[in-house]
Every structure is written in C-alpha cells, then in structure tokens.
Structure 1
Amino acid sequence: MTLLAVLLVTAGCSTRRVSGPAPVEDRGVVRTGVEPPAVVVMPGSENAGKPGYYTVKAGDTLFRIALDNGQNWRDIQTWNNLANANSIEIGQVLRVLPPVSATAASTPPPVVAPTGPATSPVASSGVTARPLTEAAPPTPIPAAPPAQPPAAAGGDEIGFIWPAQGSVITPFDEANNKGVSIAGKVGDPVLAAADGRVVYAGAGLRGYGNLIILKHNNTYLTAYAHNQALLVREDQAVRQGQKIAEMGSSDTDRVKLHFEVRRLGKPVDPMGHLPKR
C-alpha cells in the first residue's frame, strides 16, 4: 500500500498544470527591446534633386547657400517660409531659385543717387562700423585708361571697375581661392565695382571676415571680404565707385581685399571682368 501511494503521488505531480503565460516561442525574430527609430521627413524633401532646389549639408549656413546660388539670403528665407534664418537642418531641401511670381521682384530696382548722408553706422555683430557720413558723398568713379575701357555691358553683362588700387597678390583659383586678393593698407577705400544693391553686410560667413555682397542684376554678384569697417547696410543702393568699406584683415593673416565675381552663383575669374591696368 505504501508503494502504491507513492506511485500515485508521483503521477499526480507529473501532470500538474502551471499557471501563467506560455513561454515565448522563438520563430527567428530577434527582440532587442529597442524600438526602430521613427522616420523623419525633412521639410521640402519631395523636391530633393529638382532644379532650383538645394539639400542642406553639414556646415551650411543660409548666407553661404545664398552666395553660392547668386541670391539674396532674405529672398531664400522668404521663399522657404523660414521663421529663423539660422535654423536650417541637414537634409532640409530649400528653394534657391525664385518662384515664377517672384522673378520680377528679384531684379534689383534702379539705383537712386543718395539725397543726403545717412547718420547711423552699420549694425552687424562683430563688425567695426564707421559713421556713414564718412561715405557721403560717394567717392568719384575712377576713370579707366582710355585705351582699355571696361567691356561694354550687353544684356546682363556689366562693365566692372577695380574695387581697390593695390596689386593682385593671390590670383583666382576655383578650388582654393574663389576670387583675387588685392594688397593695401588698413583703412584703404574699398569701392563698389558696379551699381547694385547690398544683399549682405556682416561677419556671418566663416573665412570672409567683415563682408559685403552686392547684387548687380539677376546674373552677377560681387563680394568684398576681410574689411576693417563696413560703410553700407543691407538693402542699400550703391553706385559704381562708391566707397563701401575700409580695407582690413578680419578673419585673415594680412591686410587685403578678397574680391569675388559670381555669375549665377558660380565664382568666375575677376580678371576676365576687370579692365586691364
């Protein structure tokens, strides 16, 4: 009887059901406990790769994108409904050519000669300003040598003048120097190479120091870098030969003017657009 009782108890234990969930069956799915990252759709991604659009890369700023595409940074901000010009993200796709309705508005209006001196300096972070009264009246336009005048303007082509009187110390090199460097002394005048409108005046582009960018038409921009002082402000109309800055050495190793000519945003050799001397 004792042996029979033991056998019955053992059999009962072997058939007892265990409460709780069944064990997880491995069907080849590895569970790490980490949820997959959410897919982030960047603004404007549907336009990536289309003509007239640009995908933001690491290190980009709106100012640099505007310069490289021959546009006013404020226009790009407007076309893309950007609340803050400093808030762009890697992978974001920006319109860099004007919408059809904005094409006419993007053309700089005719330059009007100033009727009186301005009274306040340029307000731009990191820029040493001078009162604009120093720049009025505009510096007389230097006369080109009679035998070699600037090329006659045709269509959007422009007859530029030299922006400074010094010699060229660094020639154009599309890979390493997107303009020419012109020697000079601290405070030497920097002149507008042609009529235009100021689309940038500040120190927000790394490597350029205190910089002025002029838009002359829908084809050409010129840039004037490393200045000691800026004498014009954004959206101001300027005349060819007008003093717009004073030469300096901001963000560079010596006093010089770095001068660029950009055709549709692409740097071109200024020596092909300036009168020989």
Structure 2
Amino acid sequence: MTCLIAALCAGLAACATTPREPARVENRYPNAGSRPTPPARVTPRDCGSAYTVQRGDTLSEIAVMCSVPMEELAAANSLYRPYTLNVGQVLSMPRPLMHVVQRGENLYRIGLRYGIPFQQLAAHNSISAPYNLEVGQQIRLPQGATVVNLASRDPSAGSRSTASSPPPEQRRPPASSGTPRFDWPVRGSVLSSFGNKPDGGRNDGINIAARAGESVRAAAAGQVVYAGSELAGYGQLVLVRHTGGFVTAYAHNSRLLVSEGDQVSQGQVIAEAGSTGSVDRPQVHFEIRNGVNPVDPMNYLR
C-alpha cells in the first residue's frame, strides 16, 4: 500500500508543473451507482477494508479506484452531497451482498473477514454443523456493516489500524459466563501492549519476547480454524476457536505443528516461535478475540 500511495503522490507531484486544470466537478458521472470506466490517471486497486483520503481525492475517484459503487460507498460512511472529504479521513468499504467461497476457506475465516460471527453466517444461510462449504458456493452476507479485513492489520508493535473506529476494550467477565481460562502461550517480557499507540497505531493483542524455536502453546483447549501464512504481516499464524465464542491468535512463528481442524488441549505445543511476517526479532503476537472483537489479553491471562 505504501508503494502505491507513493506512486500516486509522485504522479500528482509531476502534474504540478503543468498548467492548472479546470476545477473538477464532484458528480462527474451521470449514474452515481454504476462503475464507470476509470479515468486514465486513476488506477484500480484493492482497497481492502478501508481507504485513507489523500489530498485531491474525490468520492467518485475513490469509488472508481476501489471498484465500488459511489452511492454504496457514501452510504457506508454516512456521507451526503456534496460529499465533502477531509485529508486523513478513513472511509470504510461497503460490504458486498455475497461472498463466493474460495479454496481453503471455512465459515469462520469468511466471518472474520467481514466482521460477522460465523454462527450468524451459518444461521443466515441455513448451514448446520459441521458447517461444510464447497468451492464456488455463494454465502449471503447480512447488511448493515462494513468489511473488517484481518489481513489489513499490521500485528507488529507500531501497527496502524485501518478500521474506522476500534472496538471498546473489555474487562475480564465473571467466571460464570463460560469464558475459558487462558494460559500464556510463551513466557517472556511484553514488547508491545494492547491498544492505541502514541503514533496513532493500534495493537489488537500483545507481543511477547521469545527465543527462536521456543515452544508456543495453546492458551486454552479448542479447535484450530486456521494454520498458514496467507495473512499479510502475521507470518506463520495459528487461530484456535474456544468455547464461549472466543478465538486466540498466535503469529510470527517459524514453524507450525498443527493443521486446520485439529483439536488441541490447553498447553499443547502448536508452533515454534520465530520472526516471520512484519517483525525483525523472535516473538509471539498473541490475540484474544471475543467473537470478532479483540480484547486485552492481560485481562484474561493467568
């Protein structure tokens, strides 16, 4: 994304030496809900879950660049004509009506991408346990929310969030609520704590110092719902689903010792620590999510 933004800025700077163009009109497309042919100077791209407004941007150009209907983009961000934008403003991408299942996806991963509990997706599509899916199957998505793309987050200590607003930090619930008891995945000093950072970044978990190759253990018993390296910045990643709707994440591993679908016990070794992804020293990025919402692991670890 940085390279694309740098290239876009370089292109705008090059245009500064030419005679000033006439003032642009915001509503340049007769049919605002359509996807017009991009102007030559607007390059389509995958905007992920959100786009940060740059100097000179208009809503119509952002819609073309991100390949979304302008009216849906406006509605997703509660914008009204004349669609005034501010530099640095974060626009959430509208959720599509349907998701087509790709190879290797399961209902949990689809729900995580769009910020929908997998149980809600199952009920909305009349899918019963064990929630088997087929490649090419269409999954209807409930309306009223925007994309929450886990892969768009940088799990390193100085990460910046692309979400429009972070969820509220949650305190430890009472023991009677069915919350699992979580153990530390690895013992070490906390390199980066949970929450907002002074530079505007946000960490959705904690980063724990570790030795290369050190055993990474499951914080609680559960089922592995993801094991791989497809999510940018996380390196070798394991996601484990637990009772009560909780999920734990273990990132930056050098080696994974479990596979998707495995049942793991509390304390079982699931990976070896490393420095894969967006970090330069061995550590474990550890998250606890209540549904799709990240919570402070320090309020849950014993």
Please, what TM-score do these two structures have when normalized by structure 2?
0.47
Partner of 1:254: 281
Match of 2:195 among 169, 173, 177: 173
Instruction: Note if 1:263 corresponds to 2:290.
Output: yes
Aligned partner of 2:107 in structure 1 is 75
Task: Show the 5 A alignment for 1:200-215.
Answer: 200-215=226-241
CA distance in 2, matches of 1:165, 1:159: 16
Match of 1:98 among 100, 103, 121: 121
Deviations 1:131-185 (A, max 9, x none): xxxxxxxxxxxxxxxxxxx998434311111110112121112551111111111
Take 1:244 and 1:273, find their aligned partners in 2: how far apart are those partners? 20
* Residue-by-residue CA offset, 1:237-262 (whole Å, 9 max, x unaligned): 10000000000000111110000001
Instruction: Work out the CA distance in 2 between the residues paired with 1:197 and 1:171.
Output: 26
C-alpha spacing 1:216/1:73, structure 2 compared with 1 (3 Å): farther
Measured at CA, do residues 198 and 76 of structure 1 come closer, stay the same or move farther in structure 2, by a change above 3 Å?
closer
Aligned residue-pair number: 169
Contact 1:151–1:159 (8 Å) recurs in 2:
no
CA contact (8 A) 2:223 2:242 kept: yes
Instruction: Please say if 1:160 is aligned against 2:178.
Output: no
CA contact (8 A) 2:247 2:288 kept: yes
Work out whether residues 179 and 259 of structure 1, in 8 Å CA contact, stay in contact via their aligned partners in 2: yes
Matches within 5 A, 1:111-260: 153-174=175-196, 175-251=201-277, 252-260=279-287
Identify if the C-alpha distance between structure 1 residues 222 and 270 changes in structure 2 by more than 3 Å, giving closer, same or farther: same
Equivalent-residue separation in structure 1 for 2:285 and 2:109 (angstroms):
26
| Cα 1:105–1:270 shift into 2, 3 Å | same
Runs of at least 4 residues off by over 6 Å:
35-38, 92-95
Unaligned residue ranges in structure 1 (runs of 5+): 1-34, 64-71, 80-87, 107-149
Give the whole-Å Cα distance in 1 for the aligned partners of 2:260 and 2:128. Answer: 20
1:209 Cα deviation after fit: 0.7
- State whether residues 107 and 122 of structure 2, in contact with CA within 8 Å, keep that contact through their aligned partners in structure 1: no
Give the direction of change, closer, same or farther, for the CA distance of 1:187–1:55 in structure 2 (3 Å limit).
Answer: same
User: 5+ residue gaps in structure 2?
Assistant: 1-29, 36-66, 77-92, 132-171
> Which amino acid in structure 2 is aligned with residue 99 of structure 1?
A
SS at match of 1:261: strand
Structure 2 vs 1, CA of residues 194 and 93 (structure 1 numbering), >3 Å: closer, same or farther?
closer
Structure number with the bigger relative contact order (C-alpha 8 A, sep ≥ 6) is 1
Write the distance in 1 (CA, Å) between the matches of 2:262 and 2:178.
21
Deviation at 1:103, TM superposition (A): 6.4
Alpha carbons of structure 1 residues 190 and 152: separation in structure 2 relative to 1, 3 Å: farther
Structure 1 counterpart SS, 2:107:
helix
Aligned to 2:83: none
Q: What letter is aligned with 2:122?
A: P
Distance in 1 (CA, whole Å) between partners of 2:218 and 2:116 is: 30
> Counterpart of 2:293 in structure 1: which amino acid?
K
DSSP-derived class of the 1:204 partner: coil
Offset of residue 202 of structure 1: 0.6
SS in 2 for 1:154: helix
